Structure 1
Amino acid sequence: MSTELSFPPFDNVRLATLSDLPRIAMVAAAGFYHSPTFQFQRPYYADFPDDTLSSYWTEYQSAIRNPADVVLVAEDVWDPDEGLGVYGALRGSSMYKFGSSPTADKVIVGVCSINLKPGSWRIGRFQTGNHVDSPTPATPFSTQNRDQCAMSLELYGAATAPAKAKYLAGRMRLSTLAVHPAYWRRGHATRLVSWCIRLADKDDVPVGISAAPMGAAVAAKAGFEEQETVRIKRSTAQESVSQFGVPNVGDVELWVAIRQPSRSPSDTSTTCSDSPTGESL
């Protein structure tokens, strides 16, 4: 059996290419903006939207090239009014045009990344073909992370690390999931999650996720079962970072879950999606 035949069918999703990076960065920023985690970790997003875009650009560029990762994208017919669904600072970014000017009728509207299980025979099997050989667009700006708060990142990491180590270490993992707000509730998040769990089912391995509440809704429908929910209370977070001028963004939650492999074909519906984003960092 060829390597290609050992993959789940690419039904309305495909492997990301390096040339997709401008669009992927824009979709990630637009989608993750609606997660409390984004608001907590990137409180200065309105002042430094180029930093937000360039950081996602760098993150997904590394994942596409990483032999132990898989990056998938979902596409849809371009909506010329999609900018109305993007927060103002992003739409006004000088980098925004790189991801908002389509060259075809269909555009990327969703993205997810998958960490393969350590030692998986699939490691390196996705880094072939044009998705790694295609030209890499030059990033218009360097990643300076001025949109982020170091204290918030430290607090978030310390709070979530124990649950991640307990339940996700050594497992295949659905690590990020985002859909552009203009294309929500069209099934794109569900299709991306479905491909991930079909891959896990083929290899008969569990797959884990750590997601914000919006992504948790999609994952739960796909058979992920909660192991723990980590909560960073608003009062605790605000007390820790208020001296740095970080705005109060409310409670932050991380839903940690695992889906056990199924020996029957995955039957996750691809017709609807109630939940568009699920950033886990």
Structure 2
Amino acid sequence: MGTSVLPPPPDLGSLRVATPDDVMRIGIVATAAFRYSPLFRWERPNHDQYPDDTLLSYRTQLKTAIQSDDFIVLVQESAYQPNESERTEAIIPANNGWTPPDAGQQVIVGVLSVKLEPDSPRKGQLKNHKGTYPDLPDCAGRDLNRRHYDSWGSLVGSVRKEHHCHGDSIVSMIVVHPAYWKHGYGTAMMKWSRDLSKIDSVAQCVSAAPMSEPLFITLGFETVCRITEDGDDDDPEGVSTALLEYRPSE
């Protein structure tokens, strides 16, 4: 019985495949970066009171993605800055289970998580399960506005389906710790993801916050529509992101 041979994925360059040992650090990077997203304000209004729950939530999400054959998770490393927690508005608890290295040693500063399209022949590729997955407790989610969190997830799913993006691969996360911004790390990760879309001739979508939307547009993504939740008594400002899609040329 023959098997189809896929073209190789894009060269990783400075990126590498995430491992089980990365989970604790990755959660810190995600928390520090997502603090600047309007969606963070909408979904996690109690972060300041329950920062441990925020951190655990992202660690759990990324542990699941690293374990799953449906996801590719890549990381970017750079020299550790001991004062990095002072350069994010997120609260990173001091005793959070991750041991920081000495200044200048390599640490993860960026994370890319891509959910592959349904029936992708790449499922299970670019995985590295060497190491030990942390034993994480159940997350109480006390930082969340549960109603906002659940309704946003349902809304995004329905909008993707309405605009026929449900067969795309999905950029589920792309973040860089604020202490390491302006080094091109986000661009490098997004270019890799876009190039995978090109190689596999598979459309790719992302729900982009206003801060990251221009980057995606520069890389060839097009706006499909805006995804908007009106304000309410809990948060009169509401929240809005852009559904963007990259369609590789035939």
TM over 0.5: yes
CA distance in 1, matches of 2:71, 2:138: 23
**Alignment correspondent of 2:31:** 29
- Offset of 1:221 from its aligned partner? 1.3
CA distance in 1, matches of 2:77, 2:117: 27
**Alignment correspondent of 1:119:** 119
- Offset of 1:149 from its aligned partner? 1.3
**Alignment correspondent of 2:67:** 65
- Offset of 1:203 from its aligned partner? 0.9
Deviations 1:37-85 (A, max 9, x none): 0111111111111111111111001101111110011111111221211
**Alignment correspondent of 1:94:** 95
- Offset of 1:5 from its aligned partner? 7.2
Residue 16 (structure 1) aligned with residue 18 (structure 2)? yes
Residue 259 (structure 1) aligned with residue 246 (structure 2)? yes
Q: How does 1:263-278 map to 2 (within 5 A)?
A: none
CA distance in 2, matches of 1:118, 1:175: 14
CA distance in 1, matches of 2:200, 2:58: 29
SS at match of 1:258: strand
CA distance in 1, matches of 2:141, 2:181: 28
- Offset of 1:262 from its aligned partner? 4.2
CA distance in 1, matches of 2:54, 2:144: 8
- Offset of 1:157 from its aligned partner? 3.2
Q: How does 1:187-266 map to 2 (within 5 A)?
A: 187-234=184-231, 238-239=232-233, 242=234, 248=235, 250-262=237-249
Matched residues, number: 244
Which consecutive unaligned segments of at least 5 residues does structure 1 have?
Answer: 243-247, 264-281
Q: How does 1:65-214 map to 2 (within 5 A)?
A: 65-87=67-89, 90-95=91-96, 98=98, 101-102=100-101, 105-127=105-127, 131-139=128-136, 141-167=137-163, 168-214=165-211
CA distance in 1, matches of 2:114, 2:154: 23
CA distance in 2, matches of 1:124, 1:84: 38
1:34 to 1:249, Cα distance in 2 relative to 1, 3 A? farther
TM-score for both structures, normalised by structure 2: 0.90
> Which has the higher mean CA deviation after the structures are superposed, 196-205 or 254-263?
254-263
1:152 to 1:93, Cα distance in 2 relative to 1, 3 A? farther
CA distance in 1, matches of 2:214, 2:156: 19
SS at match of 1:169: coil
**For the Cα contact (< 8 Å) 2:42–2:238, is it kept in 1?**
no
1:57 to 1:197, Cα distance in 2 relative to 1, 3 A? same
Deviations 1:146-165 (A, max 9, x none): 11111112332344333122
CA distance in 2, matches of 1:87, 1:216: 21
- Offset of 1:137 from its aligned partner? 2.8
- Offset of 1:136 from its aligned partner? 1.6
> Which has the higher mean CA deviation after the structures are superposed, 104-113 or 21-30?
104-113
TM-score for both structures, normalised by structure 1: 0.80
**For the Cα contact (< 8 Å) 1:173–1:208, is it kept in 2?**
yes
**For the Cα contact (< 8 Å) 2:20–2:131, is it kept in 1?**
yes
The residue type equivalent to 2:193 in the other structure is: C
Greater helix percent: which structure? 1
CA distance in 2, matches of 1:13, 1:39: 29
The residue type equivalent to 2:118 in the other structure is: P
CA distance in 2, matches of 1:202, 1:186: 26
**For the Cα contact (< 8 Å) 1:230–1:253, is it kept in 2?**
yes
1:217 to 1:249, Cα distance in 2 relative to 1, 3 A? farther
The residue type equivalent to 1:92 in the other structure is: P
